[in-house]
Amino acid sequence: MQCPKCRGNMRTYERNGVHIEQCDGCRGIFLDYGELETLSRMESAYHATPPPPAPGPAWGAPQHHGGHGGHYGHKRQRSWVNQLFST
Amino acid sequence: MVVLRRGEVVVKAHSLRDDVEALRPRLRATASAALAGIMLAPLEPEVLSVAGRAVTVWPAGRPIRQDETDSAPWEEGARLLARLHAVPLTLLPALPPAGGPARAARAVRRMTGDGPVEQLVRRAFAELPAPERLPALATHGDWHLGQLVRRDRWLLIDVDDLGVGDPAWDLARPAAWYAAGLLEPAVWDRFLGAYQASGGPALGAGQDPWQRLDLPARALTVQLAAVAVVNAARESRELDEVEHSLVESCNRIVRA
């Protein structure tokens, strides 16, 4: 395929399911029907879902992942108070 | 280690195990202007010797009472740690390494049994990753709520593990409690938020704080579990629920 702008040779690349023709000469890019929309969709998905801030380590107790675990009911337990104060 | 109070003076006889030569610069550091308002200053900047024991002398301060945990000054503790970590080492006497990592290793060595819990704790310790980078900042070395006293303001106490180290270790005990489901997330957020808002350097800027907390929090989890195992064995009892949650945390660590 020839570049519609400079008549150079166009090469086909595939990136994440989107076919892109790029001209070896002027580096211009040609998109097939619907591919601009696909790119736009991918771009907005990328911006819409920033990675959530990690609230704890991978090995944290289950409540860090949205569950209802934890031992907070025992916060007045002597053992827990000792933990808070002892070396 | 023995602590005696008489009136406004507290005398601390340090453990025979402690290295007196390491204690001297630590004590001088707490007496220095650079740590004024951060750590309690001693009444006497030199280590005394009584019957072969190293002794240090301090003004009395009011500790947090154990029935005051709901109103414990977590933020103030975090701010003091942030200020300590920011003190340039050039303003302090040459300090030995902070005691945190050695403490964790010692706790694991003190376990004498060889049951499944001991094996798990030892394995979690043995599999701790090597630190990728070693920041070298002023570090308390053994921080918990018992290390705060109030005079005209809150101050850090306990020189025994003060030194040069990775300051993330000072945040690692609350981090370990939080990861074990013991410390309420809201309290952890207050503590961590106050540390970061005070410009504390331990966790980097704008990153996931757990990048730097992960290793020391694992180590403290192992340490706390090992201490629990030793205490339970000494008292001939099973682990209680709080202690067991630390062992569960070790179990998640070896599977992570």
Strands B9-13 and B53-59 turn out to be: antiparallel
Say what the pLDDT of residue B48 is: 95
Answer yes or no: is A37 within a domain. Answer: yes
Instruction: Give residues 157 to 216 of B whose Cβ lies within 8 Å of A.
Output: 177-182, 184-185, 208, 210, 213-214
In whole numbers, what is the pLDDT of chain A averaged over residues?
A: 78
The single residue listed with the structure tokens 């030569």 is B21
- What is the identity of the amino acid at B193? G
Tokens of B2: 């023995």
* B109/B117 Cα distance (integer angstroms): 14
Per-residue pLDDT, A52: 56
Q: Do A84 and B146 touch (CB under 8 A)?
A: yes
B71: contact with A, CB 8 A cutoff: no
AA letter at B43: L
The beta-strand segments (E) located in chain B are: 2-6, 9-13, 48-50, 53-59, 62-63, 137-139, 148-150, 154-156, 163-165
What domain range is A22 assigned to?
Answer: 1-47
DSSP 3-state assignment of B62?
strand
> Quick one: fold of B2-255?
Aminoglycoside 3'-phosphotransferase; Chain: A, domain 2 (3.90.1200)
In the sheet where B62-63 sits, what is the strand order?
Answer: B62-63, B148-150, B154-156
The DSSP secondary-structure symbol of B98 reads -
The secondary structure of residue B243, as a DSSP letter, is H
CA distance A78 to chain B (A): 9
Task: Write down the pLDDT at residue B176.
Answer: 97
* Nearest by CB: B245 against A54, A71, A85: A71
Predicted TM-score of the model (pTM) = 0.81
Q: Is residue A14 part of a domain?
A: yes
Looking at residue A71, its pLDDT comes to 63
Nearest to B32, CA basis, from B162, B154, B149? B162
**What is the percent of chain B with per-residue pLDDT over 70, rounded to a whole number?**
100
Domain boundaries, chain B: 2-255
pLDDT of residue B256: 85
Residue A3 lies in a domain: yes
What is the number of domains present in chain A?
Answer: 1
Residue B134 has pLDDT above 80, yes or no: no
> In angstroms, rounded to a whole number, what is the distance separating the alpha carbons of residues B152 and A70?
36
B235 touches chain A (CB under 8 A): no
CB B50 within 8 A of CB B41: no
- The answer on pLDDT for B30 being more than 90 is yes
The top-scoring range by mean pLDDT among A61-65, B69-73, B131-135, B211-215 is B211-215
CA count, 13 A, side-chain hemisphere, B119: 3
Give the Cα separation of B118 and B123 in Å (integer): 8
DSSP state letters, B190-223: HHHHHHHHTT-STT-SSS-THHHHHHHHHHHHHH
Q: pLDDT (tens digit, 9 = 90+) per residue, B168-221?
A: 999 999 999 999 999 999 999 999 999 999 999 999 877 789 999 999 999 999
In this predicted structure, the answer to whether residue A62 has a pLDDT above a threshold of 90 is no
Task: Tell me whether A52 touches chain B (CB under 8 Å).
Answer: no
Model confidence at B112: pLDDT above 90: yes
Question: Looking at residue B18, what is its pLDDT?
Answer: 75
Question: What local confidence, expressed as pLDDT, does residue B104 receive?
Answer: 95
Q: What does the pLDDT average to over B14-33?
A: 92
- Across chain B, mean pLDDT equals 94
Write the CA distances from A82 to A86, B58, B189, B243, integer angstroms.
Answer: 6, 24, 21, 11
CB spacing of A80 vs B256 below 8 angstroms:
no
8 A C-beta contact, residue B136 and residue B85: no
Residue with more model confidence, B91 or B17: B91
Domain CATH number, residue A25: 3.10.20.860
Q: What pLDDT sits at residue B185?
A: 92
Q: What are B44-78's pLDDT values in tens digits?
A: 999 999 988 999 999 999 999 988 888 899 999 99
pLDDT number for residue A64: 47
